[in-house]
């Protein structure tokens, strides 16, 4: 790419860019929804005491207006579930391949899931996540199970702290450019997304119009000798 400045033409080289990968995997959508139903049901049961406390605090009349508004239902780990075996294996292998493609020497590393869970936002709306990073991981991502153009969505933020300190107004904030400071990422059912775990991200407030459920995962590259030592201790 070249940029013209007055009469000079300057070569342009982009560095420090941030990749976000996505691929449609509809073949795992129905099996994953079925496999995660029991995890979501269990999460609803675990949150029941909170709803009792809310009802006690608000009174029955006001409680019926809000119910579980603003809540999200978070599962226990999904690792090893038979219905998610292919998905889990694919995520692990793809994460290793991505790090290898980025130029890291992965010959002595194995990918380890630090988190692998499913979450569903309240059908009354209000579910969301504030901006955060997964600082001790290398790859993060989502597999979207239930969503639409009316549900919540992930918002990716510029991870370059130095760039954020000197931001200027953009000509057109609706367009994505190399200097965009946040990206509203629109998911579809069956979409699988990978990105570096250092990328700050959040989930926009859900309106409760349609169901919103997604699997979230974080993976860390661990040295093979550490993995083997851990196996030997079992």
Residue 232, both tokens:
């030997």
Query: Using one digit for the tens of pLDDT, what is the confidence trace for 3-25?
Result: 556 678 888 888 888 999 999 99
SS3 category, 224? helix
Lowest mean pLDDT among 2-11, 98-107, 139-148: 2-11
Query: Quick one: tokens of 53?
Result: 């406390």
Chain-centroid distance of CA 213 in Å reads 11
Residue 232 or residue 66, greater confidence: 66
Question: Which of 188, 120, 145 has the alpha carbon at shortest distance from 29?
Answer: 145
pLDDT digits (tens, 9 = 90+) for 53-67: 988 888 888 878 888
Residue 63 has φ and ψ, to the nearest 5°, of -60, -40
DSSP 77: P
pLDDT score at 5: 60
- Taken in order of first residue, the domains within the chain and their CATH numbers are 72-156+181-234 (2.60.120.620)
Give the per-residue pLDDT at 7.
73
């Amino acid at each position: 790419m070249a940029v013209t400045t007055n009469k000079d033409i300057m070569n342009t080289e982009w560095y420090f860019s941030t990749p976000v990968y996505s691929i449609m995997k509809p073949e795992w959508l129905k099996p994953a929804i079925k496999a995660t139903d029991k995890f979501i049901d269990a999460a609803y049961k675990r949150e029941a005491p909170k709803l009792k406390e809310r009802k006690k605090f608000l009174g029955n009349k006001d409680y019926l207006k809000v119910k579980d508004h603003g809540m999200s239902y978070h599962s226990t780990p999904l690792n090893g579930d038979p219905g998610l075996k292919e998905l889990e294996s694919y995520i692990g292998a793809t994460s290793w391949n991505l790090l290898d493609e980025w130029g890291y020497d992965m010959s002595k590393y194995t990918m380890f899931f630090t988190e692998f869970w499913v979450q569903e936002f309240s059908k009354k709306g209000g579910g969301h996540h504030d901006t955060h990073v997964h600082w001790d991981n290398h790859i993060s991502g989502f597999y979207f199970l239930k969503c639409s153009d009316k549900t919540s969505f992930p918002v990716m933020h510029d991870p370059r702290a130095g760039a954020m300190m000197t931001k200027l107004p953009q000509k057109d904030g609706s367009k994505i450019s190399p200097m965009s400071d946040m990206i509203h990422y629109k998911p579809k059912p069956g979409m699988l997304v990978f990105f570096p775990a250092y990328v700050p991200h959040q989930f926009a407030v859900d309106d409760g119009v349609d169901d919103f459920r997604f699997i979230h995962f974080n993976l860390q590259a661990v040295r093979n000798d550490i993995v083997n030592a851990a196996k030997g201790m079992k």
